[in-house]
């Protein structure tokens, strides 16, 4: 799994420094987590602008909680951060779905929901396949592969047993495989 | 954050699909431009600028309540002015008594008139109306 995070920074120490209000700690915190939040949001929303808005909104909330002492660090920062992120994403998805339903009713264009920024056919196919999964499956995949959360953190975040999360991930990947198999066969042929 | 270890202990139905998902995730994380972090940090800085304002708003009701309580305490502690009872002269009292008796008398008189009017109605002869009609016809 490729990782754009700066390896030199210890996430826990960065959070502690941000809580103490140390200079530069907030920038480090943004550097560590903002792209992961963005990726998780983008995977669900498929809209770069919306994903950036969600990321900003999440980081502002995190900052407000940290700077006003409303966040108590118990070593579960990542779960807390992505819980906020997923709530924002869910809200946004619901709003977008309402809007899209309305737009599709007006335009009748079945491809209107496609992300204009999708250049690669393979990625588009994969994104379409992910988007056709149930919301809970999409969340697990997005948290695991886009946000790079560990299964333990995902289980903690979703309030589900680890086994349930692992099984859900397993099933979701299986469904993707079934959907993508014809694509693979065509590519190999 | 020890994800590599976790990956090795989880069921992996299809390494190819997992690899595709990881690649897509990496692509999404790399997608924002170089100014992305600065924009996110800037949004948080703008939020920081709003935080003291919020505190002032939160403090405003408390300050108002405190000021009101202080004013109330000051008024309670101030010596109250002596109350001087209004004393009426004996002649004034007599005049007031006469006036109130007059009012009572007037009211009682009106009530008496109404009672006598009712009594007059009771004593009317029911045939007198027929007589009055006959008189009208004759005219």
What tens digit of pLDDT does each residue of A76-100 get?
Answer: 889 999 999 999 999 998 887 777 6
- What's the mean pLDDT when you consider all of chain B? 72
Residue A104 has pLDDT above 60, yes or no: no
Window from A28-32, A103-107, B80-84 with minimum mean pLDDT: A103-107
Which residue of B lies nearest to A56 if distances are taken between CA atoms? B40
- Summarize pLDDT for A7-64 with one digit per residue, the tens: 567 888 888 888 888 888 888 999 999 999 999 999 999 999 999 999 999 999 999 8
**Tokens 């014809």, residue located:** A182
- Partners of A63 on chain B (C-beta within 8 Å) are 44, 47-48
- What is the pLDDT at residue B118? 66
DSSP E strands: which ranges in A14-169?
Answer: none
Q: Tell me, yes or no, whether A94 lies in a domain.
A: yes
Q: Tell me, yes or no, whether A146 lies in a domain.
A: yes
Q: Tell me, yes or no, whether A69 lies in a domain.
A: yes
Q: Tell me, yes or no, whether A5 lies in a domain.
A: no
- What is the pLDDT at residue B70? 83
**What interface predicted TM-score (ipTM) does this complex get?**
0.81
Window from A132-136, B8-12, B84-88 with minimum mean pLDDT: B8-12
Residues 6+ apart with CB under 8 A from A103: A112
- What is the pLDDT at residue A39? 95
- Summarize pLDDT for A18-32 with one digit per residue, the tens: 888 888 888 899 999
A3 vs A90, residue with greater confidence: A90
> What is chain A's alpha carbon radius of gyration, rounded to the nearest angstrom?
18
- What is the pLDDT at residue A154? 94
Reading the block at residue B85, the tokens are 């009872």
pLDDT mean over B76-98: 71
Cross-chain CB nearest to B6 (options A11, A48, A152): A152
Q: Tell me, yes or no, whether A4 lies in a domain.
A: no
Backbone angles phi, psi at B129, to 5 degrees: -65, -40
Mark yes or no for CB contact A38/B29 under 8 Å: yes
Q: H-helix or E-strand containing B68?
A: helix B36-77
For chain A, the domain total comes to 1
Residue A13 CA to its chain's centroid (Å): 23
- Summarize pLDDT for A131-166 with one digit per residue, the tens: 999 999 999 999 999 999 999 999 998 999 999 999
Q: What is the DSSP string of B87-131?
A: ---HHHHHHHHHHHHHHHHHHHHHHHHHHHHHHHHHT--THHHHH
Which residue, A59, A79, A75, A80, is CA-closest to A13? Answer: A75
Mark yes or no for CB contact B14/A177 under 8 Å: yes
- Cα–Cα distance for residue pair B56/B69, rounded to 1 Å: 20
- Partners of B27 on chain A (C-beta within 8 Å) are 123
CATH of the domain at A174: 1.10.10.10
């Amino acid at each position: 799994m490729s990782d754009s995070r700066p390896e030199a920074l210890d996430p826990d120490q960065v959070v502690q420094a941000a809580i103490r209000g140390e200079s530069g700690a907030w920038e480090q915190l943004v550097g560590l987590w903002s792209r992961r939040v963005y990726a998780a949001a983008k995977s669900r929303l498929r809209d770069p602008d919306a994903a950036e808005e969600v990321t900003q909104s999440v980081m502002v909330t995190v900052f407000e909680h940290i700077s006003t002492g409303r966040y108590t660090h118990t070593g579960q920062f990542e779960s807390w951060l992505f819980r906020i992120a997923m709530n924002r994403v869910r809200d946004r998805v619901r709003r977008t779905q309402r809007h899209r339903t309305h737009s599709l009713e007006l335009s009748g264009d079945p491809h209107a929901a496609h992300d204009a920024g999708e250049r690669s056919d393979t990625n588009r196919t994969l994104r379409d396949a992910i988007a056709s999964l149930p919301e809970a499956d999409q969340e697990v995949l997005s948290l695991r592969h886009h946000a790079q959360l560990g299964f333990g953190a995902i289980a903690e975040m979703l309030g589900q047993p680890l086994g349930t999360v692992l099984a859900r991930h397993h099933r979701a990947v299986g469904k993707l495989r079934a959907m993508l198999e014809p694509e693979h066969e065509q590519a190999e042929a | 954050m020890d994800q590599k270890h976790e990956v090795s202990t989880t069921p992996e139905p299809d390494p190819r699909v997992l690899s595709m998902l990881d690649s897509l995730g990496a692509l999404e994380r790399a997608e924002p431009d170089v100014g992305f972090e600065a924009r996110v940090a800037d949004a948080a800085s703008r939020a920081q600028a709003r935080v003291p304002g919020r505190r002032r708003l939160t403090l405003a009701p408390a300050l108002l309540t405190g000021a009101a309580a202080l004013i109330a305490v000051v008024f309670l502690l101030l010596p109250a002015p002596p109350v001087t009872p209004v004393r009426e002269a004996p002649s004034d009292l007599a005049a007031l008594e006469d006036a109130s008796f007059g009012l009572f008398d007037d009211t009682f008189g009106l009530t008496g008139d109404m009672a006598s009017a009712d009594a007059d109605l009771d004593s009317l002869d029911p045939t007198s109306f027929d007589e009055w009609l006959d008189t009208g016809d004759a005219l």
